[in-house]
Structure 1
Amino acid sequence: MIEIEQTGNHNLQQTGNHNLHEIPKTMRAWVHTRAGPARSVLQLRDEIPMPELPSQTSVLVRISHAALHPGESVMMNFIPFLFRKSPAVAETDFSGVIVNVGKDVPQTASTNLGSSRYFPPGTPVFGSIPVREHLKAGSGALAEYVAVEMNCIARKPDEVSFEEAAGLAVSGSTALTLIDEARLSQGQKVLVIGPCGGVGHFACQLARQAVMSDGLVLGICSSSKMNLAKRLGCDETLDYQSSPEQGGNSLVSSLVSRFGGDAEDNKFDVVIDSHGSQNLWHACPSFLKAGSDHPYVTVGPALQSYSVGGMLAVISRMLSNSSTPTWAGGVNREYNQITSFVTVDKLERLRKLAEEKKLRTHVGGVWEMEDALEVSQYVSSRFPSCYHVNALLT
């Protein structure tokens, strides 16, 4: 993960609890008033009005870190302001400390809500702004404060840093959905495409736990990420550009030579694609077992460019991958493109996994808030690749 952190007089890791008198009337935030790439539309403003609590079940969070992910770049580039509030604060994922709450927000643990669903001021939390509110209300995480409903946050585990917690919500929720749909079991062979990406590095860890020590997790990544992939749970790795240990063979050829052939038992049980590789989807009958119990689970085709043509190409591939029959040239395997949303259940699952040290956020870099444009360009430039890392701004 690459993050942007807040600095200055309100650094949460230094100040601890806040009282209401410390909350200013305005804040700094990166905003935009038209669609387009970050470098052209984002502006850092100093006098953005302090967000108000939208309801009695909402909280005001002083943001410590904001995590950047490619989905925000898609919205920023393609959604016109006819359909969103202006100015719009960028990004959705954050960590921070609660500084104010509505009167209906639980202040103490309750058996009805669960032992972790209480949020008095001073509580460290992580969470994500729902897309609907991000667009409708213009609220975002690339700011000093954010007001969200309490069902959009979870308590930050004590031994998890603000940097790590900020990257959990969207990428972690997407990884949970991938793993849920993969229906993994002990001893299976799993191919993970993009095991070091924002979503993929969570999915890789979860896949490792699901198949246990007698299963096999093979990751497809760049040669520079192979050591990281193995630390995340891969038993083996293949270079997505070529496979030197196979004499420079192409990726597909390397997979087929090792996991292909007529014997079904030699093939993978499941493919988890956190990138959206068209080539590997079309080639997967050569190395993925047949049948509904052996799905190709994916986040969907990768966007190759931030253009209308690029988006139309993605939509066309989505429809083709999911609906083209075999007799018309379709792939004879189950294609399962997921749709994922951040929910209370997923936030709590992520909190518990992180608390038990079963899920760790890989932080690829931390930037100051003033450097948001540089980081946004970094994330955007890596979105067409399956090996981007999410960004955190502090």
Structure 2
Amino acid sequence: MEMEQDPTMDIPQSMRAWIYKKVGMPNSVLQLSHDRPIPSLSSDTSILVRVSHVALHLGTVFLMNFVPFLFRSSPSCAETDFSGVVVAVGPKVPQSPPDPESPDLQRYFPPGTAVFGSIAVAAHLQGHGALAEYLVVEMDAIARKPENLSFAEASGLAVSGATAITLIDAADIKPGDCVLVNACCGGVGHFATQLAREKVGETGTVVGICSSSSTQIAMQLGCNEVLDYHPAEDGTTLTDALTSTFGGQAAFDAILDAYGSQTLWHVSLAFLKSGVDHPYTSVGPALTSHTLAGMLSMIANMVTNTLLPVWAGGVNRVHKQVASFVNIEKLERIRELSNKGKLRTHVGAAWEFEDAIEAYEMLFSRKAKGKLVVRIWEPASNLSFTS
């Protein structure tokens, strides 16, 4: 199979990558390999990317900790979301802009193109991962990097951005609505907050739930008001704060739960308007512990949240749990929103490649703001990217 390669980039014989050969948490199973082979193009439409930055997310940790190697390849490489530069492409990858009338106007990737994307779950289970110096993906797994975002910012867009878009679409928010966003500064939540702000417009209201230390970020993202999820020193809870501020009426047209709080779902009856037009949309119950018991509890909550009838103790509100897979349509929506300044990644912190385990420790604290990023390579400012 012939391929086009960027003549300005020499492809080495081997690379570094964080790999694992058994199920477990990152700090116990991940190993930094210094001699992994450079992956080869796997099809006429595959693309070799030199990875710049990788963004962590809990979904890949779930796969690392719970999917046995009976159902995946060994060794596996960690993580799926990345940014980087195309260095080689298969013969059927478009390398020049299509006809101006084409709906796929931005779907061309000559070597030298700055991109972001996400490795598909099926490919990830076959051992492919982003936490490496090079990776191979199919063309439908990437999009051109938004021009106004850094490589670090772009690396966090794919899965969290796609999930936030799905969350917003499910909520069917309208101009002038009053919306509550739980975890408004988190990996998914900070994207959902920006999108909610755009949907409700100047006449609408976005109320965010986050830690008090994140208040300024929440306001910058588009919140009109921010509530602290921590109990106050006098014992006042989040429910008390909601009741004090919005008590006596169901104030919210929609609730976006980007964390998966069972407590918020169970008390939502008092704050969320009734009817099918006012849903509680959620990313699903939070995994309270990375154990088999924690996973079973999460699955049980998923079932009861949507199926438990009111007479048996269920909540008398519409519950929509979303799941999102990255595809071309969502990647291009994300790219367009970012280029228009309507969606931007907040990078909470960044670590060097060798310190990736420290990034995971912050991820597990569930106190991170925005996206946590691992820096593998910083493209030079004078590097000419294909436009």
Partner amino acid for 1:259? F
Hey, what does 1:392 align to over in structure 2? Answer: 373
Alpha-carbon distance, 1:292 to partner: 0.3
Q: Which residue of 2 is the match for residue 363 of structure 1?
A: 347
- 5 Å matches for 1:178-189? 178-189=167-178
Shift of 1:243: 5.8
- Aligned to 2:39, the other structure's residue is in SS state coil
Aligned partners of 1:304 and 1:61: how far apart in 2? 35
**Shift in Å, 1:21:** 6.9
* 1:20 Cα deviation from its structure 2 partner: 7.8
Spell out structure 1 runs of 4+ moving beyond 3 A: none
Structure 2 counterpart of 1:94, one-letter code: F
TM-score between the two structures when normalised by the length of structure 1 = 0.91
1:21–1:67 distance in 2 versus 1, CA, 3 Å: closer
Mapped to 2, the partners of 1:258 and 1:332 lie a distance apart of: 22
- Conserved? CA contact 2:214–2:369, under 8 Å: no
TM-score, normalised via structure 2 length: 0.92
Residue 259 (structure 1) aligned with residue 243 (structure 2):
no
2:33 to 42, 45, 48: 45
Contact 1:116–1:155 under 8 Å retained in 2: yes
CA spacing shift, 1:248–1:238, aligned 2, 3 Å:
farther
> What residue identity is the alignment partner of 1:253?
D
State the number of aligned residues: 369
Aligned-pair distance for 1:242? 3.2
Please point out which of 254, 275, 284 is paired with 2:259. 275
Matches within 5 A, 1:73-152: 73-111=61-99, 112=102, 114-136=104-126, 138-152=127-141
- AA aligned to 1:300 is G
* Equivalent residue, structure 1, for 2:385: none
Letter in 1 for 2:350: V
Counterpart position of 1:11: none
Stretch of structure 1 that moved more, 79-88 or 108-117:
108-117
User: Percent same amino acid at aligned positions?
Assistant: 54
Return the alpha-carbon distance in structure 2 between the equivalents of residues 61 and 164 of structure 1.
Answer: 17
Task: Measure the CA separation in 2 of the matches of 1:381 and 1:76.
Answer: 18
Q: C-alpha offsets along residues 283-318 of structure 1, whole Å, 9 cap, x if unaligned?
A: 001010000000000001111110000000000111
Q: What is the correspondence of 1:156-175 to structure 2 with a 5 Å cutoff?
A: 156-175=145-164
Distance 1:328 1:367 in 2: 48
Of the three residues 217, 228, 234, the one matched with 2:206 is: 217
Secondary structure in structure 1 of the residue aligned to 2:347: coil
1:8 aligned partner: none
Alignment of 1:336-375 (within 5 A): 336-375=320-359
For structure 2, the 5+ residue unaligned runs are: 376-387
CA distance in 1, matches of 2:69, 2:178: 46
CA distance in 1, matches of 2:43, 2:364: 34
CA 1:21–1:180: 2 relative to 1, 3 Å: closer
Query: Could you tell me how far 1:248 is from its partner in structure 2?
Result: 5.9
Structure 2 partner of 1:199: 188
RMSD of aligned alpha carbons:
1.5
2:15 is the alignment partner of 1:31: no
- Tell whether the 8 Å contact from 2:347 to 2:369 is kept in structure 1 after alignment: no
Partners of 1:243 and 1:254 within 8 A in 2: no
Structure 1 unaligned residues grouped into runs of 5+: 1-16
